[in-house]
Amino acid sequence: MRKILITAVAALAIAATAFVGTSYVLSSAPADITLSESGCAEASFTLPPTREPLITLRNTSSEPMVFTIPKIAQWVSVPPHASAPFQLPRYIMGNFTAFCMSESEHEALNGGGNHFLCSLQPEEVAPYALNSVAFTIATHDRIHELLEKVR
């Protein structure tokens, strides 16, 4: 029973973090995307179909930075000189535009830090971002997990 409770709490924490953009600090995971004062270091990123829908971001700047994918209404703030996970929706796939910006610019853009207003379209975010990343979630077969449960 305790194991189930711990698992449920961990799942809720991950879901809540993805929704409100709260950051986690990880120091040992290798970064998939690096954020700096000039934006994202990578121009493109592809999540392979064999990987779980989770990437690691590393902020090398001296200020908090935000990584966001507006089309899926998710973002995360990464503290200075720290790393953070970015949990993607499990069953989504396709091409998206991700953006990197300072946390202060992001807060001004989304209404002073109101997490529920962060549902802007990419063309609305682009003028405020330092740069963008062509972000691809490769075609995968995770949907079969759901289909197996139905059978």
pLDDT of residue 82: 97
The pLDDT of residue 116 is: 52
| Residue 118 pLDDT | 56
pLDDT for position 115: 57
Domain ranges of the chain: 2-150
Look at domain 2-150 and name its CATH class: mainly beta
pLDDT for 11: 41
CB 84 within 8 A of CB 128: no
Pair of tokens at residue 41 = 């270091």
pTM of the model: 0.76
For the chain (length 151 residues), average pLDDT per consecutive 10? 40 41 56 97 97 97 96 94 96 96 88 61 92 96 83 73
Amino acid at 5: L
CA 53 to chain CA mean position, Å:
10
**pLDDT value, residue 6:** 37
